[in-house]
Structure 1
């Protein structure tokens, strides 16, 4: 077990972590391909695929994305067909989970995040799956859609967990909000449904653009045609699907994505608790 407080991974830890995440990815991809669901390497994992033919050496996660229709199908399939060694972590399946995206988590391992001590489920070493939701051509409407998601997400997170904040005042305020949201006759499942409804507001339209609502960089619109049809690329020893116009997407997200960052920036903060279990 490794404990840390904003520390860097050792070379051995990051390599071991990546090996386990690659195992998870292989099992997830096997199921998605079995059911002919379209997925794409995404974010840092797409960048790693192109620049490093695998993991960015200091990256500590794997991200894939699916269009909403395939994402919803994938949730049901993963929930029913994942090997027993995995948990599917997503807000529709776990009462105090507030994440609208999904994690496939390896049982018997621990990957501590800031919220781990506030929830009842165990978070192990995992990979992330993100939905791509339709948005219209108008950036004004697209941004309204994004801000609606951000607003709705606050109701979900504040109804799911009662946590300590950065200051005593913010902690007390959050606790009051949590108590109110859990007292009024609208339970957290309703907030989750409303959040999903906001994310999928334009699903009834065949739009040219999509977005990842959970993008930590904020509102970002992608052209649907930049993703499909997918092409194949090498990620470590696995052949994976990547967006057709990966260069355009990576430039949109990262700018000069082939430029290696300075040495002092080549790290991710390790979790407070990292336990590989029997793996």
Structure 2
């Protein structure tokens, strides 16, 4: 159950966060069906569907991905989203990454890294999937260019209070220096270059170039685009049919539960507004 704390807010329990995230996911699913948008459960959410038939018990977010053409259409339809929902990205906020979040206006959900930088609302992460060169060296070069500029923008954007000791001092100082330039512009330029070469439609393999620290993985485009329905908290939702290959790439022996000390969350604080 939600509980009150010293600051007067009533924070949602993890179970209540799951309930609200599921509502948001089902609204997103309905919207995609109405507008013919393709998507797949992704990352830890896909793993949760396979291993737990729902949320990973300690997880506090939801991840989906979309082919780049569908992702761009979604951005263009922001104004047609159901009332109370909106998209947040690096173009309309200080969000530091090259993907977007579908947010609800009803629930604040603050991460420590954006405290004092951006008032966050409960969200679903939506990752664009792009075409990638079949040449591994070329693909790695492309991924590194996006990853390098994204990391610089993150360092310049978020606060570093969660870091300890010397790491916090160094990241804070580096972030201040990076802000003297245009780290967001550099990131967006690198993403635009990567998206256009070879382009989603011309590619035979795809990957997520903007997904953070998970490293480079590639999948056959036909395997990613073809979806199967999997159970997630009692609902059937689309998942890439190459889910086993994908989860092996990301997590290795993905059916094995990680040690308790590796069961990480976003450490969000969520409350109703």
> Tell me, what secondary structure is at the counterpart of 1:276?
strand
TM-score (normalised: structure 2) = 0.84
Paired with 2:60 and 2:214, the residues of 1 have a C-alpha distance of 18
Paired residue for 2:100, among 91, 99, 102?
A: 102
Partner residue, 1:228: 225
Structure 2: gaps (5+ residues)? 6-10
Paired with 1:2 and 1:66, the residues of 2 have a C-alpha distance of 38
Partner residue, 2:133: 136
What pairs with 1:240-259 in structure 2 (closer than 5 Å)?
Answer: 240-259=237-256
> Tell me, what secondary structure is at the counterpart of 2:83?
coil
CA contact (8 A) 2:149 2:186 kept: yes
| Aligned residue pair count | 260
CA contact (8 A) 1:2 1:275 kept: no
1:76-98 per-residue CA deviation (whole Å, 9 max, x = no partner) reads: 22x1122332231111222x222
**RMSD of the alignment, in Å?**
2.7
CA contact (8 A) 1:66 1:131 kept: yes
Paired with 1:218 and 1:85, the residues of 2 have a C-alpha distance of 34
Paired residue for 2:149, among 145, 148, 152?
A: 152
Higher relative contact order (CA 8 A, sep 6+): 1
Paired with 1:15 and 1:161, the residues of 2 have a C-alpha distance of 27
Shift of 1:37: 1.0
Runs of 4+ residues deviating >6 angstroms: 162-165
What pairs with 1:183-198 in structure 2 (closer than 5 Å)?
Answer: 188=184, 190-191=185-186, 193-198=188-193
CA contact (8 A) 2:59 2:265 kept: no
* Larger strand percent: 2
Shift of 1:155: 5.0
TM-score (normalised: structure 1) = 0.82
Shift of 1:192: 5.0
> Tell me, what secondary structure is at the counterpart of 1:87?
strand
What pairs with 1:1-279 in structure 2 (closer than 5 Å)?
Answer: 13-77=13-77, 79-94=78-93, 96-119=94-117, 121-157=118-154, 160=157, 166-178=167-179, 180-181=180-181, 188=184, 190-191=185-186, 193-204=188-199, 206-213=202-209, 214-262=211-259, 264-265=260-261, 267-269=263-265, 271=267, 274-277=269-272
1:194-238 per-residue CA deviation (whole Å, 9 max, x = no partner) reads: 133133032436111111122422111222122232111211132
CA contact (8 A) 2:227 2:238 kept: yes
